[in-house]
Amino acid sequence: MVMVMKIDTNRFMENISATQLLLLSGLLFLLPCSAYASCDELDRDTLLSLSFKAPLNWSASTDCCLWDGITCDPLDHRRVIRLWLPKRGLSGFVSSAITNLTRLTHLNLSHNSLLGSLPDDLLSSLPSLQVIDLSFNRLNGRFPPSSNGSSHLQIINLSSNFFNGTIPSSVLVPSISIFNVSNNSFSGSIPMSNGSNHASLTFFDLSFNDFTDTIPPGIGSCSKLQVFRAGFNGLSGSLPNEILNLADLQQLSLPVNSLSGHIGDGIVKLTNLKIIELYSNLFSGKIPSHIGNLSMLEKLLLHINNFTGPVPSSLTNCTNLSTLNLRINNLTGELSAFNFSTLQHLATLDLGNNNFNGELPQSLYSCKSLTAIRFASNQLTGEISPEIVALESLSYLSISTNNLTNVAGAFRILKVCKNLTTLVLSKNFLNEPLPDDKSLGDPVGFQSLKVFAIAGCQLTGQVPTMLAKVITLEVLDLSFNLITGSIPGWMGSLPNLFYVDLSNNLLGGGFPIAFCGMPVLITKEAGDMVDRSYLELPVFVMPNSATNQQYNQLSNLPPAIYLGNNSLTGSIPSEIGRLKYIHVLDLSYNNFTGNIPEQISNLTNLEKLDLSFNHLSGGIPASLGRLHFLSSFSVAYNGLQGLVPSGGQFDTFTNSSFEGNPGLCGFPTGKLSFPESPLPVVSTAQKSNTQGIFKALLFGISFGIFFGIGFGLGLNIDDKRIPFIAKRMMKT
């Protein structure tokens, strides 16, 4: 083929006639007239005065129409019409000289490091401007007012900067089709005045700002609007009826505001809708019963509202649905009554934290695209059925806090799911025995599992040894059960394990030395190897303190060992000093004896250390003062003696960290003692001086952020109180 074409081209060249040649040379002769007429001098000088600090081939000795990023109008005295320099490493300010480029139609300086505010007359001085894209810079200040007269602006993108102040609604001139100011700090009302014409607007993005007030009814005049995004603001009131005029609307995205009222059945007339994101608002009432009319719907995100009633059965007609998130509402009804089987594209399903009852819906197991299912915190009953194995892509399953039964059956079935990485079954199976290996059959299983939580079930029996073969395991939570026996040493050799919670069980025996060899906790290299990718859905960790923690990424979980509230005995092995990358060590409420090993001071990443309520003796090693990240510390209720170390973080701990040790003295126990004299005789002068220092220290106590990861993935979830995660995206 290639050969043939080549020959044809040659033949074509040979066959060009003399007249054709003449014509061609005539054209070539004409071209230089325009190509080498130098650019407008004023425009050239203006460009040079912009002095963008970047390697551009802008040299005064060459024609500015040939410079990087410049396009001139060939028909109009070589005036500059386009300044197009995205991603060119530009820094510095946008000089007001730019307004001398009066013929400019296209301006794109996006993805640079431009600073400062924009010239006030930027838009009013450039009457021909059609496109302005300054997104992804570090610009601040106000939105520049536009000229009231004839504007040709079609695209305004100022997104991802640091702009603030209000946006006058006059900037939304009738010609605008794309308006994107997302990810700034704009405030005031949505710029849209009643009665004005926005018939060209197709993309309207105001998300991640501080806009307040209601959604203006003027939105109804945007008859071509396809995408409306205003999430992560302070909008209130209800959805205006005028929104029903937006027949072309494909995306309605208003999450994380204070919008309220009912959605209303009218929305089902907007049959082009693909994405509805209204999560984290105050909406109530029912999900529109005819939502099934929205046959294009791909994402329905209504979580964290106050919706009531059932999942409308018509939803089964939304066959393009890939994400359905209704978590944290007051929805009711028997889940098995809903027919999931038509939702062949459904990948993520979160119906957690509602009041659904009945058995797990059998029809779900024909949704072959499912990767994540979360039913946590409902009133579901029955058993996990073997059909679930048909969901070959299933990676995330959380059914914690329901009333499931037959834990042995659940293990036997789920261990076959090849791609299952997150399994949270906490608070079910009340009082059942953990299955032993024999009853589980083939020892190979759970071959991809990273997170395994089955806490708060009061399960009896021993730590299942089948877990010893789950080499992918990163996070294990067996807390709040009635597990007996000793801590198995094999846990110390699981290559990816970094978070173990065995607290609140009936475990006995000693602290296994093998446990001190957990690869991820002893070498940085092993820690770096762990694949801590994003979870399909977040896991919730109930800490000791009042706030819930939501984890979207496993890497945000602190490396931790929780063994509190068991019956462990013996001494804390000195080998514990090897667990260098551990952040939380909780051995409280056990029967440990002996000294606090000096080697703990080698755990330089430690943020929380709890050794309280044991029978430890001896002194508190002064070297613990080297633990600079330690923000929570307790050795209360042991038999410790001697002086409490001072300096470093120790100056921030209160007496509650040390109480219940009659032999301890020094700050902050309130008992004075000096190493020189075991029975201190302190002069009045010394005493008042010392007390003065104590007061000063107390006054200056800075309580570190309590690192309150307590127990139970998915346990006791009441995530209505979850603070809204990162209100705005990180800017770099």
Ligand X SMILES: *[C@@H]1O[C@H](CO)[C@@H](O)[C@H](O)[C@H]1NC(C)=O
**Would you tell me which residues interact with ligand X (CB under 6 A)?**
57, 62, 66-68, 86-87, 108, 110, 131, 133, 135, 155, 157, 159-160, 180, 182-183, 203, 205, 227, 229, 284, 292, 306, 308, 313-314, 316-317, 330, 503-504, 564-565, 577, 586, 588-589, 598-599, 602
Which is closer to ligand X, CB of 258 or CB of 688? 258
CB 729 → ligand X: shortest distance, Å? 9
- For β-strands 162-165 and 138-141, DSSP reports them as parallel
Residues near 192 by beta carbon (within 8 Å), at least 6 away in sequence: 169, 172, 198, 216, 218, 219
Which is closer to ligand X, CB of 300 or CB of 388? 300
Which is closer to ligand X, CB of 419 or CB of 484? 484
Tell me if 155 sits within 8 A of 132, measured CB to CB. yes
CB 655 → ligand X: shortest distance, Å? 18
Angle at 383 between CA 379 and CA 387, to 5 degrees: 120
Which is closer to ligand X, CB of 316 or CB of 617? 316
CB 94 → ligand X: shortest distance, Å? 15
* CA distance readout (Å), 482 to 373, 432, 468, 479, 701: 28, 10, 20, 9, 39
Which is closer to ligand X, CB of 227 or CB of 397? 227
CB 21 → ligand X: shortest distance, Å? 28
Which is closer to ligand X, CB of 1 or CB of 730? 730
Which is closer to ligand X, CB of 67 or CB of 365? 67
Closest-CB residue for ligand X?
564
CB 93 → ligand X: shortest distance, Å? 20
User: Tokens 């040299």 correspond to what residue?
Assistant: 59
Which is closer to ligand X, CB of 66 or CB of 482? 66
* CA distance readout (Å), 574 to 494, 516, 561, 602: 21, 9, 16, 11
CB 518 → ligand X: shortest distance, Å? 16
CB 104 → ligand X: shortest distance, Å? 14
Tell me if 684 sits within 8 A of 690, measured CB to CB. no
What is d(CA 369, CA 324) in angstroms, rounded to the nearest whole number? 13
Which is closer to ligand X, CB of 107 or CB of 413? 107
Tell me if 578 sits within 8 A of 600, measured CB to CB. no
Edge-to-edge strands, sheet with 639-643: 593-594, 615-618, 639-643, 663-665
CB 670 → ligand X: shortest distance, Å? 24
What is d(CA 553, CA 532) in angstroms, rounded to the nearest whole number? 7
DSSP for 313-353 reads GGGGG-TT--EEE--SSEEEEEGGGS--TT-TT--EEE--S
* Distance from chain centroid for Cα 613: 37
CB 599 → ligand X: shortest distance, Å? 4
Tell me if 221 sits within 8 A of 197, measured CB to CB. yes
